[in-house]
Structure 1
Amino acid sequence: MLTQTVFRSEDLPVADRFDAWCEIMGRVYAPMKMTSEFAADFRAHLRCIPLGEVTVYPTTFQQTTFRRTPRLIRQSDPEAYHLSVLLDGEGGTAWDGHEAAYRPLDLHIVSTSLPHETWSGRLPATIVGVEIPRAALPLPCGRADRAIGRQMSGREGVGALLTQFLTHVAADVGSYRPDDAPRLGTVLTDLVAALFAHNLAAEPLLPPEAHRRTLLLRIQRFIHHSLTEGDLTPSRVAAAMHLSRSYLHRLFQQEGITVAGYIRRLRLEAARRDLADPAQHCIPIHAIAARWGYPRAADFTRAFRATYGMPPIEYRRDGVRRQPC
């Protein structure tokens, strides 16, 4: 059986979970600044599988933003490429003035030597990540760097071969002996090199749908970071993103929701989490409502009841009853 190290956030006290996740990701990939809206009670599961010089790690985690800054690069750089295949969820990356969005079976590539920011969506993301030293990849370094951020698919061709290899190894470590690890690492490195070379052979055209997904993800991130601001309206979102209101509404209509409905859903979810948090039971409900954009308590109660089937005071009371003695 291949050697693997397992991390489960549930094995740790709630207060220690996110810090432990940041620590292990810093060891597996590189030191990063990490934030999450779920940091107070973070859920993640990771298995780290060393294959010689290469490391494979299947992992599932809640919404997280990862930032690799110039200062962190100067302090410590393992000089490696990170490649991951997204199996579930959504995410994106920003680097050097560019952005890309990812959906399931897209391949995501960054370098520990270049500043970037990567984020996952609000729902838990599942990936199989790979760390490959730059020196191990049989391609000129400058040429390999051109693959960073490119739209690469794990649905067909070399990308599908790589995805199948990664998911098989991650799912069936018991079929291999420890001395198979370096050989599997060599095969994996060759597949990654083949993927890079194939995609660099011709300049890909970015389809309009990819542009739309990237823009929508940027808008959703702006809304999430502005939830506590009372003047967060569709008009303000459109102005901040330099879009017309009509185009903004069309983007959200394709997702089956209105802009105002999306803002309302996020605010109610945030308020519901605060109401269920034992550490905030002494905070009045009207104060929590105001924090998340509901200055009128009656409006908050009405919206909360319509969404969750009970008034906020009853939801909080039920949450207290559910707390272990």
Structure 2
Amino acid sequence: MEALVFDTEGMAVQDRFPFWYDTLSQSFMPSWVTTDHPTSFYGSARMLDLGGLQLLVMSHLKVEAVRPSKLIRQADPEIFQLHLVLSGKGRAVQAGRDVEFQAGQFLLIDSSRPLAGWRGAGDDAAETLIVQFPRASLGLRSAMIGGLVAAPFSVRDGITGVLAGHLTRLVENAGAFTPQDAEALTAISLELIAAACAHQLEASASLSPESRRQALLSLIHDFIRQRLSDPDLTPETIAAAHHISVRHLYKIFQEQSTTVAAWIRRCRIEQCHRDLADIRKRSLPIQTIAARWGFTDAAHFSRTFRAAYGVSPREHRISAAGNESDL
């Protein structure tokens, strides 16, 4: 799947903001938008449409947006937008709240409620990742989720951190996905969003069992990825960190048709495969790279690598270097 890319840089100055307004401000969620920089406006965006939800990463100079009742009556898609603020700051007025937000926070916006606010300041561009999805797809009662509308909450370790990382990787790796992946990616994303919202509301009991399982699995995956370099990473330490039994941990992975050890091994070998092809790491000995990702036995690493990729680590490095020289 390819992300759609929009950029005003190569356009005539007088066309930049009108293009931005028509292409994004109107098609994503209709609003009235103005800017303090009509003659020097700059904006860029990458959009990924998974069908069940849309993701947009946009960077732009300061804009002000208003979505009054009149626009809502004309067209209300009945969606939520969850904004992950990557840089810059802003203000939002919705649902009786008047809040300021900044980088490192999530902000939930409801298309069915009047909205006003601004984003960006001075000549500094603001960057935001927005995920848009039908309000009904969240699986939480509207009265509960209303408590999060226009109420910024921070990205921290745990489920909100996992969600932020997941959404960022979706856009960054859009080209690696196929149209057949869209349904699964949508389901996983919505489950993580619901889990993060429920956690923020301290209402995890309202989630379906499947959503709770998926949220726990995502937390475990993130925990493992952060500790691949630890050769003593074991099911016991993973289970203890998540306050579950080792038996429960095994069951979670069994439902994914794998094992804890196999998943750790796959993550480690993928990191080694990437680093061995990296020209910036060409001077590092192969075993140094292997040890960096938790392989302490050179012979075991070589066997595991060959089993996964059909070539030795050395052959892979030589092949990667040869491909670069042909460019």
Question: TM-score, length-normalised on structure 2?
Answer: 0.59
Alignment partner, residue 154 of structure 1:
155
**Matched residue of 2:131: which SS?**
strand
Structure 1 position 98, deviation (Å): 1.8
Alignment partner, residue 132 of structure 1:
133
Structure 1 position 166, deviation (Å): 1.0
Query: In 2, are the aligned partners of 1:3 and 1:178 still within 8 Å (CA)?
Result: no
Within a 5 Å distance, the mapping from 1:190-201 to structure 2 comes to: 190-201=191-202
Alignment partner, residue 91 of structure 1:
90
Query: In 2, are the aligned partners of 1:29 and 1:82 still within 8 Å (CA)?
Result: no
Distance 2:50 2:112 in 1: 22
Alignment partner, residue 303 of structure 1:
none
Structure 1 position 3, deviation (Å): 2.8
Q: Percent identity?
A: 28
Q: CA RMSD in A?
A: 1.5
Matched, 1:67 2:66: yes
Distance 2:95 2:166 in 1: 31
Alignment partner, residue 270 of structure 1:
none
**Matched residue of 1:10: which SS?**
coil
Query: In 2, are the aligned partners of 1:46 and 1:60 still within 8 Å (CA)?
Result: yes
Alignment partner, residue 114 of structure 1:
113
**Matched residue of 1:41: which SS?**
coil
Query: In 2, are the aligned partners of 1:51 and 1:181 still within 8 Å (CA)?
Result: yes
**Partner AA of 1:106 in structure 2:** Q
**Matched residue of 1:40: which SS?**
coil
Query: In 2, are the aligned partners of 1:152 and 1:159 still within 8 Å (CA)?
Result: no
Structure 1 position 159, deviation (Å): 1.1
Distance 1:168 1:189 in 2: 15
**Partner AA of 2:187 in structure 1:** T
Question: TM-score, length-normalised on structure 1?
Answer: 0.59
Distance 1:87 1:22 in 2: 21
**Partner AA of 1:140 in structure 2:** R
Structure 1 position 52, deviation (Å): 2.1
**Matched residue of 1:146: which SS?**
helix
Within a 5 Å distance, the mapping from 1:171-210 to structure 2 comes to: 171-201=172-202
Structure 1 position 41, deviation (Å): 2.6
Distance 2:195 2:93 in 1: 25
Distance 2:126 2:25 in 1: 18
Q: How many residues of Structure 1 are paired with residues of Structure 2 in the alignment?
A: 201
- Please list the CA deviations of residues 214-253 of structure 1 after superposition, one character each: whole Å capped at 9, or x if unmatched: xxxxxxxxxxxxxxxxxxxxxxxxxxxxxxxxxxxxxxxx
Within a 5 Å distance, the mapping from 1:224-235 to structure 2 comes to: none
Distance 2:117 2:107 in 1: 10
Structure 1 position 48, deviation (Å): 0.9
Distance 1:60 1:75 in 2: 28
- Please list the CA deviations of residues 63-87 of structure 1 after superposition, one character each: whole Å capped at 9, or x if unmatched: 0111111111011110000111111
**Structure 1 stretches of at least 4 aligned residues deviating more than 4 Å after TM superposition:** none
